[in-house]
Amino acid sequence: MKVAVVGATGLVGTKMMQVLAERNFPVTELVPVASERSVGKEVEFKGKKYRVVSMQDGIDAKPAVAIFSAGGNTSLEWAPKFAEAGITVIDNSSAWRMDPSKKLVVPEVNADVLTKEDRIIANPNCSTIQMVVALQPLHKKYKIKRVVVSTYQSVTGTGKKAVDQLYNERKNEQGEMAYKYQIDLNVIPQIDVFLENGYTKEEMKMVKETCKIMGDDSIRVTATTVRIPVVGGHSESVNLEFENDFDLDEVKSLLSSAPGVVVQDDPSQAVYPMPLWAHEKDEVFVGRLRRDETQPNTLNMWIVSDNLRKGAATNAVQIAEYLMGKGLL
């Protein structure tokens, strides 16, 4: 199967190629695509060198699937052109997520919505992906009424420039700034731009995407998203109010048997999810499971996942795997 990775030289594009190789996706030929300034550069995939080509050359190569991680504007311009050429696009930007004509997919939650006619499929926001993987089995059993989430997000979510800023600051060296403020030894309670309602774009993504992926507009979500000086993955403190009461042991059992979820919850041994442990893993790790003692039917939980993998590259590759397995590619 011929596979294009659009944005192949970026942080997520590089991770996509790594994940394709690790998961043994049947790539017969890789078509690495990037912006004009990267055309001609070489990338490595499974020990073989491939030359980066332009967008149009990527279309002309006629891959079966193109996994995009090249930014929203690039996706808006080029994804339809790939789709018109009969290529299935899995897009990692925010460009198509809330388009009512496009599917927003996390395979563990709603892969069954996909059909052969879906030529542009949206990959959700990283912080939303890991949350809904953990929420889905609980929603099916107890019906979620309200979600209060605060995130602690890795600098890798911003990109290489932010990672460089963190390490430069750690070494007390001058360099390009990805953020308005220092990130080392600091916490920045702003991810993306502020909107008129006082929330950031990232916070509203979590609100809207959660309902769309889970297929339930009745779920009320409120979010605070925060950038922290970490590289291993995103962490989330989540408070869930259910319509029906729950048993804590049953919650742990449901999560333990849910696809893509690993429960790390043993307070007596100080076992709980951390970015340090989630780094370079594909699962969503859940712990600190406890009843909210201030109101009925309410659960507190802690969710951690590698945002470059499950939050981006792995989720996109899993969508491709599902399409292939169902004969939709």
Question: Do 190 and 227 fall within a single domain?
Answer: yes
Domain tally, the chain? 2
Q: How would DSSP label each residue in 39-68? A: TT-EEEETTEEEE-B-HHHHHHT--SEEEE
Catalytic residue among 126, 139, 211, 279: 126
Q: Give the integer Cα–Cα distance in Å for 250 and 61.
A: 51
Known active-site residue 234: yes
Model pTM score: 0.96
Q: Give the integer Cα–Cα distance in Å for 187 and 227.
A: 6
The CA–CA distances, whole Å, from 200 to 96, 123, 303, 312, 329 equal 18, 20, 21, 20, 36
Full residue range of the structural domain in which residue 97 is found: 2-124+312-325
Question: Do 167 and 288 fall within a single domain?
Answer: yes
Neighbours of 108 (CB within 10 A): 20
Question: Do 94 and 131 fall within a single domain?
Answer: no
Question: Do 195 and 78 fall within a single domain?
Answer: no
Q: How far apart are the first and last CA of the chain?
A: 10
Q: How many CA atoms lie within 13 A of 136 on its CB side?
A: 23
Q: Give the integer Cα–Cα distance in Å for 251 and 261.
A: 12
Q: What is the pLDDT along the chain (329 residues), one digit of tens a residue?
A: 999 999 999 999 999 999 999 999 999 999 999 999 999 999 999 999 999 999 999 999 999 999 999 999 999 999 999 999 999 999 999 999 999 999 999 999 999 999 999 999 999 999 999 999 999 999 999 999 999 999 999 999 999 999 999 999 999 999 999 999 999 999 999 999 999 999 999 999 999 999 999 999 999 999 999 999 999 999 999 999 999 999 999 999 999 999 999 999 999 999 999 999 999 999 999 999 999 999 999 999 999 999 999 999 999 999 999 999 999 99
Question: Do 58 and 158 fall within a single domain?
Answer: no
299: domain CATH number is: 3.30.360.10
Known active-site residue 211: no
Tokens 């959700």 belong to which residue?
124
Question: Do 163 and 285 fall within a single domain?
Answer: yes
**What single-letter amino acid sits at 132?**
V
Question: Do 107 and 188 fall within a single domain?
Answer: no
Length of the chain: 329
Question: Do 65 and 132 fall within a single domain?
Answer: no
Question: Do 117 and 194 fall within a single domain?
Answer: no
Pairing of strands 42-45, 48-51: antiparallel
Question: Do 150 and 292 fall within a single domain?
Answer: yes
Looking at the DSSP assignment, which residues form a beta bridge with residue 220?
Answer: 146
- Structure tokens, 26: 């049947």
Question: Do 180 and 295 fall within a single domain?
Answer: yes
Tokens 């499929």 belong to which residue?
121
Q: Give the integer Cα–Cα distance in Å for 245 and 224.
A: 26
320: domain CATH number is: 3.40.50.720
Question: Do 298 and 264 fall within a single domain?
Answer: yes
